[in-house]
Amino acid sequence: MAIASPENFDKEYLRQQVMDTYEHVAKDPDADYHFHRGPIYASEYLGYSLEELETLPRISTARFAGVGNPIAIGPINPGETVLDHACGAGMDILLAARRVGDSGHAIGVDMTQDMRDCARQGAEEAGLSNIVEIRKGMYEELPVEDESVDVVISNGVVNLAPDKLQVFKEITRVLKPGGRLYMADVIVQRELTAEARNNPDIWAACIGGALVEPELYELAESVGLENGVISKRFNCFLNTSAEQKVSKELFAHGVNFSASKRK
């Protein structure tokens, strides 16, 4: 299987583009972007409970930029360890922290300092600093011990990775045997043209690096994740400029996907 990756632009350049984009979101969440953000979007497009989001600090919810609802995929139990491998401003990791409770651990990793600062402040304001730990790092090389995590959550970030196999290997490495992946990411109906794949702007818009469905299943299986299933779809780009940048026929949309690590 050849998972499409950018060919004629520098991966470091792409990483910088992505970091610049999310630094900007952290500093100015209400500016004009090619994707939706915030708690109203999360509730109206993705099915989060607005009532619950309104109990969380705005510093985290206003900067939410996911494409699905991983928290709704399955149980997150008291006492468990949850990792969000690119947590942004931390909305999902705060929701997870509430579910694991005082006997659990909620770890958020992100490469963008401004996002980590928002996530830490969000945890503090929510009174969850005893449960939430925000770490600097990359999801290609997670600063997390082997087989230490019950649930990996992921929202809108795998599409941004030039090397998706490496990201999936890291998810599997940190999961305990039997541990679960609750992931939301962008899927396209058919493969993008080489031209679209090789356009860093379209990658940074969360579409250039999107997988087609069979690729997602194959990737998960190839690293030892089983029972992969797409359980829900979200029209997360409806009425955004990202939708206008690529053909509507591609039907770029968010999915909830879950899988578990073999015991």
Ligand X SMILES: C[S@@+](CC[C@H](N)C(=O)[O-])C[C@H]1O[C@@H](n2cnc3c(N)ncnc32)[C@H](O)[C@@H]1O
Site residues for ligand X per CB under 6 A: 18, 22, 64-66, 86-88, 91-92, 109-112, 115, 138-140, 155-157, 160
Smaller CB separation from ligand X, 193 or 239: 239
State the minimum distance, in angstroms, from the CB of residue 230 to ligand X.
18
Smaller CB separation from ligand X, 86 or 106: 86
Smaller CB separation from ligand X, 155 or 256: 155
Smaller CB separation from ligand X, 41 or 260: 41
State the minimum distance, in angstroms, from the CB of residue 244 to ligand X.
19
Residue bearing tokens 């659990």:
104
Q: Give the SS3 label for residue 231.
A: strand
State the minimum distance, in angstroms, from the CB of residue 139 to ligand X.
4
Closest CA to 41 of 72, 67, 71, 73: 67
Smaller CB separation from ligand X, 145 or 226: 145
State the minimum distance, in angstroms, from the CB of residue 263 to ligand X.
28
Smaller CB separation from ligand X, 92 or 215: 92
Name the residue with the smallest CB distance to ligand X: 88
State the minimum distance, in angstroms, from the CB of residue 210 to ligand X.
12
State the minimum distance, in angstroms, from the CB of residue 178 to ligand X.
24
> Crossing angle of helices 164-174/213-222, nearest 10°?
50
**Buried/exposed code over 20-36 (b: 16+ C-beta within 10 A; e: otherwise):** ebbeebbeebeeebbbb
Smaller CB separation from ligand X, 91 or 171: 91
- The structure tokens listed for 98 are 């509430």
3-state DSSP of 86-102:
CCCCCHHHHHHHHHHCC
What does the DSSP assignment read for 91-158? HHHHHHHHHH-TTSEEEEEES-HHHHHHHHHHHHHTT-TTTEEEEE-BTTB-SS-TT-EEEEEEES-G
First to last CA, the chain: 25
- CA atoms of 121 and 118, how far apart (whole Å): 5
State the minimum distance, in angstroms, from the CB of residue 173 to ligand X.
15
User: Which residues lie closer than 8 Å to 59 by C-beta, 6 or more apart?
Assistant: 89, 118, 121, 122, 125
- CA atoms of 259 and 162, how far apart (whole Å): 21
